[in-house]
């Protein structure tokens, strides 16, 4: 796992053809907006989170965020333990994000 700033996050994403953006927040938080092209799996689902994450392609690069950067850091460490090759944690999370935000239907 590597902790990255928003600037590093955007720079890495712009050249990564193997990227998967993972939002580990709750549904209530997701309702406040999401980063473009992100997929939500709530880390508070516990074993459900692990089961869903284990279905993902471990060779992709995972860009993980939450509200503040804490839960996403935990998720990235857990994913590393599960055999994921590349994980990035967004420092400051969604609270400090000042880029584009979209909303789920």
pLDDT digits (tens, 9 = 90+) for 21-60: 999 999 999 999 999 999 999 999 999 999 999 999 999 9
Query: Annotated catalytic sites, by residue?
Result: 66
Task: Please check the confidence at residue 105 and state whether its pLDDT lies above 80.
Answer: no
Q: Is residue 103, in this structure, part of any structural domain at all?
A: no
Q: Is residue 102, in this structure, part of any structural domain at all?
A: no
Q: Is residue 77, in this structure, part of any structural domain at all?
A: yes
Q: What is the CATH number of the domain that holds 85?
A: 3.40.250.10
pTM of the model: 0.96
Q: Is residue 42, in this structure, part of any structural domain at all?
A: yes
Q: How many domains does the chain have?
A: 1
**DSSP β-bridge partners for residue 15:** none
Range of the domain at 14: 2-96
Torsion of CA 27, 28, 33, 37, to 10 degrees: -10
What pLDDT, on a 0 to 100 scale, did the predictor assign at position 104? 77
Tell me how far apart the alpha carbons of residues 83 and 10 are, in angstroms, rounded to a whole number: 24
Check: CB of residue 21 under 8 Å from CB of residue 37.
yes
Q: Is residue 104, in this structure, part of any structural domain at all?
A: no
């Amino acid at each position: 796992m590597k902790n990255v700033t928003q600037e590093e996050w955007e720079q890495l994403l712009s050249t990564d053809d193997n990227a998967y953006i993972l939002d580990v927040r709750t549904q209530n938080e997701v309702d406040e907006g999401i980063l473009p092209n992100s997929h939500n799996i709530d880390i508070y689902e516990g074993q459900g989170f692990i089961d869903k994450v284990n279905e993902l392609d471990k060779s992709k690069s995972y860009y993980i965020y939450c509200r503040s950067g804490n839960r996403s850091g935990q998720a990235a460490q857990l994913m590393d333990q599960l055999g994921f090759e590349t994980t990035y944690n967004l420092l400051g999370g969604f609270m400090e994000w000042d880029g584009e935000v979209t909303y789920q239907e």
